């Protein structure tokens, strides 16, 4: 009788898909609204007044050049024509191939003005989502422009001018 009752209970539980554990519902809502990847701006310190003279090679001073008009439209046009490159622009996920988007934007801008290039961070690393406009006669002193919003997430085009930094290092190549 005891075995029959246990068998009956087992069959009832198995037939009802009874769950003996609690129901777990994991939900995570991202409330991050920051659109600038600050982690990529090590030692970039823009100044409030970029029209103030800065030291020039040879001991003189010079007034930094402004970012050329139309640059944002050129970068946006490249992005519109290459959405897959932007979507796979996270180096941590896509590796070396992820540079295709940054290289393409820089090359498009350089075709109009050769002063466009890469922002060099501490220890010679190239920023993964911020480009640079060389605004002086040397490779020191540049505008920083963050072109990828949510870089290693749902990446989208951005044109966030971060400012002019008289100490920022510019490079025409990332090698």
pLDDT(102) > 50 = yes
Q: Check: pTM over 0.75? Answer yes or no.
A: no
Position 51 scores a pLDDT of 67
Q: Is residue 122 very low, low, confident or very high in pLDDT (cuts 50, 70, 90)?
A: confident
Strands 61-62 and 54-55 come out as antiparallel
Query: Is the pLDDT higher at 131 or at 25?
Result: 131
| Rg from Cα positions in the chain | 26
Query: Is the pLDDT higher at 30 or at 145?
Result: 145
- Residue spans of the domains in the chain: they are 62-175
Mean pLDDT of 143-168: 91
Position 32 scores a pLDDT of 46
To the nearest whole percent, how much of the chain has pLDDT over 90?
47
What is the rounded distance in angstroms from the CA atom of residue 40 to the CA atom of residue 34?
A: 13
Q: Which residues contact 141 (CB under 8 A, 6 or more apart)?
A: 54, 64, 134, 135, 164, 165, 166, 167, 168, 170
Mean pLDDT, the chain, rounded, equals 80
Query: Is the pLDDT higher at 20 or at 53?
Result: 53
Position 1 scores a pLDDT of 61
pLDDT in tens, 64-93: 899 999 999 999 999 999 999 999 999 999
Query: Is residue 72 helix, strand or coil?
Result: helix
pLDDT(20) > 60 = no
């Amino acid at each position: 009788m005891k075995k029959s009752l246990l068998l009956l209970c087992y069959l009832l539980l198995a037939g009802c898909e009874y769950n003996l554990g609690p129901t777990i519902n994991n939900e995570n809502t991202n409330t991050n609204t920051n659109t600038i990847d600050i982690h990529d701006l090590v030692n970039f310190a823009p100044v409030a007044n970029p029209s103030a003279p800065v030291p020039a090679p040879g001991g003189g001073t010079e007034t930094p050049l402004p970012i050329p008009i139309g640059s944002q439209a050129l970068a946006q046009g490249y992005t519109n024509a290459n959405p897959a490159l932007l979507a796979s622009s996270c180096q941590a996920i896509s590796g070396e191939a992820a540079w295709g988007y940054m290289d393409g934007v820089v090359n498009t801008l350089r075709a109009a003005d050769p002063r466009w290039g890469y922002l060099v961070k501490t220890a010679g690393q190239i920023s993964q989502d911020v480009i640079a406009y060389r605004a002086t006669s040397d490779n020191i002193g540049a505008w920083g422009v963050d072109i990828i919003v949510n870089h290693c997430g749902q990446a989208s085009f951005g044109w966030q001018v971060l400012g002019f930094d008289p100490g920022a290092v510019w490079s025409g190549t990332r090698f």
